[in-house]
Structure formats: C-alpha cells, structure tokens
Homo-oligomer: A and B are copies of this chain.
C-alpha cells in the first residue's frame, strides 16, 4: 500500500471534473462482467450463473420475473437469456428475449447476458438488435451461430456464417462496449470436421474478441477438464465456464440430447430408464449427479464458476447450489432499496422513499432520465417522472390473480370500515372475516417488510381508526450497518433513519391533524395532498429531507432515501390511481363496492409525516393520538 504520491498541486486538468460521482459503495456496480469474473477468481471466490429461455405467454413472463427476483437472491454472477429466431426475439413483446433480458437488468438488477444468433440474418438486422440492446442497458452478448433454417446449411457469401463473424461484427461496430461470450463444445461441435478443428474455431472466436467461453453441457467432469487443458494447450487463456445441466426429467433430457446431438453415457441411461416415470426420483438423481460432478470440477482447481441450464425451473438448480455451498443468500443490502443494473444507473444512490415498495414502478417512471441522483437528491425543482399509464405492464403486474385479490380485499365492501379492516389485516397478518390472509395490497405486492414489523402494534391501532398506512419506517439512531433488519451498506458503518409515516385518511381527520401539527411545527415535516393536487406542506423551500443515511469507514456519507416534496406530487398520482386500477376495478361498475373505493379515491388525502428528531422517541404516534383525541373532544378546538 505504499505509493509515490508525488505532488498534485499546480495541475490544471480537472478543475471542471464532476464532483458528484458516486462514493463507490459497491465495486460490483462499477465493474463490467469480465472484471467481476477476474476479481472473483483472484479472490478465490466460487460463483455461479443461470440460464433461462424466454417465456411463451405474458403470464409466464410475470412468473419468470418473480423467479428472477427469487433466484437473484442467491447471488448469481450473471443470468443469461436465450435467443430463438422463430420467436421474434428482438421485438418489444413482453415475451421476447430482448425484453426479458431488459427486465432482468433494469428491474431485477441482475447482470445479464443476451444470447444472439447470426445465421440467416442481415447485417442491418443484427446491428439493429445490438443497438437496441445497448440502448436498453444490456452490456453482454453471447455470440452464437444459431441453427440454420432448413435441412442443409450452406455458407453465404458476405453473410454471417459462423459465430466468429458475429464476434467480429460486434467489435467492429461497438468497439469495446459489450462483453462477449462464445460457446465451447467439450466434445467438439457436432458439425465440426474434428475435435481439433473445433478447438481452432474456438480460438478464432477468442482472437476475434470474445472475453470468455461457456460450454455446452456434458455428463462427466473429465470431459470438461480435458477440453479445458486442450484449450490451454492451443493458447486459449480466457475464462472457460462449464455448462451444468442438472437432469430434471426424462423427457427434458431426451429433448436436450436430441437438440445438442450429445450421447448420454450408458451408466446414466442405466439408472434413468427404470425410473423414467418417476419425476421426483429422476430429479433427485439429477441433483446428486450434478453435485458430484460440480464438486469434481471445483476440486480440480481449474474451475471458478459454474453455469447452470435451469430450464426455467427453480428447485433442482437451487438444490445443487445450496448443497455446493455457493448459493449465498446475503441478507446484507448494498443500499436500502434494490439497485438496477443499467449502466446509466450505476451511480444512482438516492431515491424518494415513496416507491419503497414499488421499486420496479420507480425504475419504469425514471427510465428516460439521462442521469440519476447520487450523493444526494439535490434541489430537484422538477424531476420529470414518466406517467404510469399502463398498470398492467407485465413487470408491474400483481402476482396474484383477480380471484385471490377479491378473497383478500373483500368480495363485497359495505363501507369505509370494511376498507379499514383490509388494511388492518394486512398489517396484523390475521385472516379477514372470511378467513383469508391479506398478503398484498395495491401499494405493496409483498407481505409486510421485517422492518415495518417493528411498528406493527401501532400501525394496527391507527389503521383500525382510518389512518390507512401504505409506507412507514421507524427512527434509527445509529445501528450497525450489519444489523439484520435495518442494516445496509458495507460493514463497520452505522445507519440512521428518521421516523416516517405515509397514509390515506379522510378530510375530517386531516383537519384535526393540521391543528395538532401546529404544536409540532419545528419537529415534524408534513405533506398533505388530495387527488386534485391540493397540497399543504411546511417543507422549507421545497427541499428534500434525507430520511435514511449511513456513515461508513473511510467514505463520504450515503443518504439513499429522501422525502422529496416535488416527487411526492408524481407519487400521489400513482398512489391514488392504484385505488382505482388495482382495487375498484375488481368490482362491477356502479356496484356499491366500487363506489366505496371511488369515494375514498375522490375524498381522502394522502399524508406523509417525518419526525426530524431521530435521536428521540418517535413522536408520530403521539401526533396521531393527539389527532384522535381532538376529534373526540366535545368542544373540538
């Protein structure tokens, strides 16, 4: 750590360099895939990656995205999405490879490789796909030849005939922008003249600019280890990642083997044939087989990462990874909210608190921004949020179908109180009067966060009385950054929060609340707004209020969530609309249930409160108690 510092005075180079760059909380966000791979290898960390194919239907896409979220929690180095020319893979359809990869990167925050094939496509088509991928924030391409159309394959003059042509094209047209992955065939490509010829083709792909290699599946670790040595022998030095295929069923194995023209070793056939109708048995066997093969690979010392062909399923791959001990469900968060992996958003480290439970909506509404707040939100006199017109965008769609929602939120509402009850059941986790648990709300697709649980008792009390809470956090006065509930960021730091409470409530309660808030003028900041945009606030000069921040060793302060008065007006449009789009529309038009929700939408206020005195006991509950006391006092003054 000794370096010659020299003198930096007198230089004139960077007077105008941006001083607002991110304090690099998390190196991962700033590295490209090949750098991450190298850093993991240098550190001796083992890693894994996951391959998915694009779904067939919109519903399957919704499910795949929540699978991304769940499997992303295990810490894959990357995922990849395959490319099927017949399925319109570059289109804007919610099931296209392009859009699925886009969703993985931007909305799930996963490092993602998009496959791309080149045969039977024009240069312009391919350039168009690559430009679109770049625009969407995709940074990695798996360059493949693809299967020729028709029986026999003929070379096209000036066309893309081999994967190497695509690699060259990417490097020519996009310089070093993309990390490029290519396929390796441990047994040689079935169409290659020979194993040796295929190795030479592979080397050409690397020389043309590929950064690493993922192999086709294989059934024995020796196959891969021999292949790797042969690669090294002819001078291929980039990372080579073995493709692992945990056998998950008799038919999927047969189909894959047919496609890849591989032969299943006799010892495997001998086990499988007798149990071919017992899915569970085959899967157990497949997991065992994969675990022992992966162990051999890792123990060889030549393998640092494992690539899994998941077939879009969760259980087998997760089992293998957990048994290998490389599934790392790290409860530690780099920031209090889920980061996006779009390169434009690399420096983003501040967001308004309002979207805490709707991070995908926040990403969607800010996708057109050219730069993202970092360091602090700043005096954003007019952040331009995109409108959330389509509440049925597949990545924003509720995971629960209409019937489920009706069971949770009431087949029939009888008044505002029945709405209060839904909110209360969501908070308490108790079943509603029809025996159904309320596990999601229009503003929150998931059960109550662990942190919110700290406030459960008080939240229950106020929701029963018509303070319909949709977001809250307790005050925190310096807990370790490793705290399992409220911690985030690197270890050795301290995290802080100001108490926050956000809720819908009637104008009657708002009138009393405003009287009470006078007593708390210096301590509590408030914003109170109705659907028409009538806005009451005591925020000074419309400045944002930092409500979450962290102090870390050797770093500047990170303040990742703020209450921003201006953004709140964009959020309120969304928050009010969710009453109608997600809840009211479950019921027939003109039905009493629908009219109740419509009434609330039209007449309630959305309120947020911040208690600035974070070292003291949270006073927001006292504010609410005082409000109800005022309402109940005979002389209401």
Which residues from chain A sit less than 8 Å from chain B, CB to CB? Answer: 1-24, 365, 368-371, 373-387, 477-478, 492, 494, 496, 522-523, 525, 529, 533-541, 543-546, 549, 551-557, 559, 562, 566, 569-570, 573, 610, 612, 614-615
Contact = CB atoms under 8 A, between A and B. Distances in A.
Contacts of A557: 376, 546, 549, 557, 559
Query: How many copies of this chain are found per oligomer?
Result: 2
A610 B1 CA distance: 17
Contacts of A2: 534-536
B375 A614 contact: no
Residues of A contacting B: mostly: loop
6 contacts: A9-B573, A14-B380, A543-B554, A546-B551, A552-B612, A556-B559
A10 B379 contact: no
A6 B377 CA distance: 21
Contacts of A15: 368-371, 384
Given A370-B15, A546-B555, A556-B377, A383 B8 contact: yes
A375 B378 CA distance: 8
Contact of A24 (B8, B16, B379, B535): B379
A264 B1 CA distance: 76
Given A14-B381, A545-B554, A549-B551, 16 more contacts: A6-B533, A8-B384, A12-B384, A14-B383, A15-B368, A19-B371, A19-B378, A20-B378, A22-B379, A23-B376, A539-B554, A544-B555, A545-B555, A546-B555, A552-B612, A553-B612
A540 B491 CA distance: 13
Contacts of A1: 536-538
A535 B3 contact: yes
A168 to B, nearest CB: 35
A555 B535 contact: no
B569 A554 contact: no
Contact of A523 (B10, B370, B553): B553
Given A23-B543, A533-B6, A537-B1, A553 B525 contact: yes
A480 to B, nearest CB: 10
Contacts of A12: 368, 384
Given A370-B16, A522-B553, A556-B545, A385 B21 contact: no
Contact of A614 (B21, B525, B551): B551
Given A377-B556, A543-B24, A553-B523, A8 B535 contact: no
Contacts of A538: 1, 554
A196 to B, nearest CB: 46
A14 B378 CA distance: 13
Given A1-B536, A20-B19, A492-B522, A566 B377 contact: no
A355 to B, nearest CB: 13
Q: Which 8 A-B pairs have the closest CB atoms?
A: A5-B535, A19-B378, A553-B612, A9-B570, A20-B20, A21-B379, A5-B533, A14-B382
Contacts of A374: 19
Contacts of A370: 15-16
Contacts of A4: 533-535
A10 B386 contact: yes
Nearest to A564: B556
